[in-house]
Amino acid sequence: MKLWGGRFKENENKLMEDFNSSLSFDKVMYEEDIKGSFAHCEMLYKCGIISEEDYKAITQGLQSIYDDIQSGKLLIEGDYEDIHSFVELNLTQRVGEAGKRLHTARSRNDQVAVDTRLYARKKAYEIIESIDKLINTLKEKGNENEYIMPGYTHLQRAQVVTFRYHLLAYVNMLLRDRRRIENTMEIMNESPLGCGALAGTTYDIDRVFTAEKLGFKKQVDNFLDGVSDRDYLVELLSDFSIIMMHLSRLSEELILWSSKEFNFVTMSDEYSTGSSIMPQKKNPDAVELIRGKTGRVYGSLMALLTVLKGIPLAYNKDMQEDKENFFDAVNTVLSCLKIMNEVIKTLTVNHDKMEKAVSEGFLNATEVADYLVCKGMAFRDAHKVVGEIVIFCEDNGKDILSLSMEEFNKFSGLFDKGIYEYIEYKNILKKGIKKEIVL
């Protein structure tokens, strides 16, 4: 069933009909489509373009379609071209002639543009909510586990930090992710409804009214741009890609930390899986999947950028390809944020293993150098002295804290008893701006 056909002599081929249809995926926007139609219909009535009778019939019809979809009485299926055709043709079936007047001064081009913006905005808020949940969980897990652990550079033990501080790094990434989405929503906060097919309409419609009704700050400035703009989807996909990149880095750390080699954390059985052949295996599939799905979201971003790059103004059917990519990316990010939240919530932190790793890694070497600097040595010289101390410790199977005063003094006469207190791991975090790590 179609909204067009008058100028055709022959029927559309079934193969083409299936190829062209977007109903199987754009049906998720039914709520937005009906919402947009409510606003458009009210505006048409207010501007004297349709009668009160038609206005009432259309709004009642739209409401009944919405209610029936919600209750499961009306299934979104059949040989409709898209969700817009589905709603309009169902409306006409229900309310007759009045239904045919709804599309006055509107095109599916501005209709799909407004529906997609409304849908993207709704999903962006859901993602912000999931980000907030994960932020809280990371903070809670961190507060419960204020234990020292090795901080790494080049995946080599470097300096002491705390597990809480490490998780807080991800909190900061997620706070930026949240701001990026808010920023995108600020830019996309303009209504394209009323742009018509590409060049507005000869009716004196009220775009300010529909923009306000639908919760937009203003109407778009340019009709051609309004129906062709999908920048906000590209931006959101880019925001999602950055979220996934962050989740993927955290996943990678959890995979490393849960290996026997690190053993810093134990993932809950609830979010781990086993091997069909190796009975001893417990695999971190949850976070491996997050790491893997990151590629999929990047793919959606690349796909949409590529779809858009060559199309002339204004609407072209290529743009229908924005949806599956965007919907898939939204669902992927939402499920990954949710799973990561559970993985962190149920994580056990093996603090004894982390503390042991701290004590075995010469993680106080920089502070030994700082100590010598406090006693008057130049930092570059101190660096060299401590390097020699590390070689000595490695050769003799010792850590720096276990050296005797005599041994220290072989390397520099500037060492005194104060060195032991100075380079004790927990004390290191009480000095200078390192205090921020434990605040």
Question: Which residues are annotated as catalytic?
Answer: 154, 275
> CB of 318: closest distance to ligand ARG in angstroms?
9
Pick from 222, 320, 335, 427 the residue near ligand ARG by CB under 6 A.
320
* Rounded CA Rg of the chain: 31
- Pick from 44, 69, 112, 363: which binds ligand ARG (CB under 6 A)? 112
**What CA–CA distance (Å, rounded) separates 97 from 219?**
30
Q: Rounded to the nearest whole angstrom, what is the least distance from the CB of residue 315 to ligand ARG in the complex?
A: 5
What single-letter amino acid sits at 30?
A: Y
Beta strands at 348-349 and 265-266: parallel, antiparallel or unpaired = antiparallel
Least CB distance from residue 116 to ligand ARG, whole Å? Answer: 8
**With respect to ligand ARG, which residue has the nearer C-beta, 109 or 258?**
109
Region of 218-226, 243-251, 319-327, 389-397 interacting with ligand ARG (CB under 6 A): 319-327
Stretch that binds ligand ARG, among 206-214, 231-239, 314-322, 403-411 (CB under 6 A): 314-322
Query: CB-wise, 154 or 309, nearer to ligand ARG?
Result: 309
Site for ligand ARG (CB under 6 A): which residue of 38, 55, 240, 315?
A: 315
List C-alpha distances in Å: 116 to 106, 142, 250, 320, 438: 15, 38, 31, 10, 45
d(CA 36, CA 116): 10
Alpha helices in 310-439 (DSSP H): 322-345, 351-359, 365-374, 379-396, 405-411, 418-423, 425-428, 435-438
Distance CA 243, CA 224 (A): 32
> Does residue 22 interact with ligand ARG by CB under 6 A?
yes
Q: Choose between 119 and 165: whose C-beta lies nearer to ligand ARG.
A: 119
User: CB of residue 153 vs ligand ARG: minimum separation in angstroms?
Assistant: 48
Nearer to ligand ARG, 79 or 270 (CB): 79
Which residues are 149's β-sheet partners? 161
User: How many residues line the site for ligand ARG (CB under 6 A)?
Assistant: 11
Question: Which residue type is seen at 364?
Answer: N
| Candidate list 135, 303, 307, 319; residue touching ligand ARG; CB under 6 A | 319
Nearer to ligand ARG, 109 or 219 (CB): 109
| Region 52-91 residues binding ligand ARG, contact defined as CB under 6 A | 82
What stretches of 269-336 adopt beta strand conformation (E)? none
Binding mask 26-55 for ligand ARG (x = CB under 6 A): x-----------------------------
d(CA 343, CA 255): 12
Quick one: which of 109, 137, 162, 332 contacts ligand ARG (CB under 6 A)? Answer: 109
Output 142 or 196, the one with its CB closest to ligand ARG: 196
Q: In this structure, are strands 156-162 and 265-266 parallel, antiparallel, or unpaired?
A: unpaired
Binding mask 89-108 for ligand ARG (x = CB under 6 A): -------------------x
Cβ at position 63, least distance to ligand ARG in Å: 23
Cβ contacts of 317 within 8 Å, gap of 6 or more: 20
Q: Which distant-in-sequence residues (6+ apart) come within 8 Å of 356 by Cβ?
A: none
How far is residue 89's CA from residue 368's CA, in Å, rounded to a whole number? 78
Strands 218-219 and 265-266, bridge-based pairing: unpaired
Residue 188 touches ligand ARG, criterion: CB under 6 A: no
Residues within the interface to ligand ARG (CB under 6 A) = 22, 26, 82, 108-109, 112, 315, 317, 319-320, 323
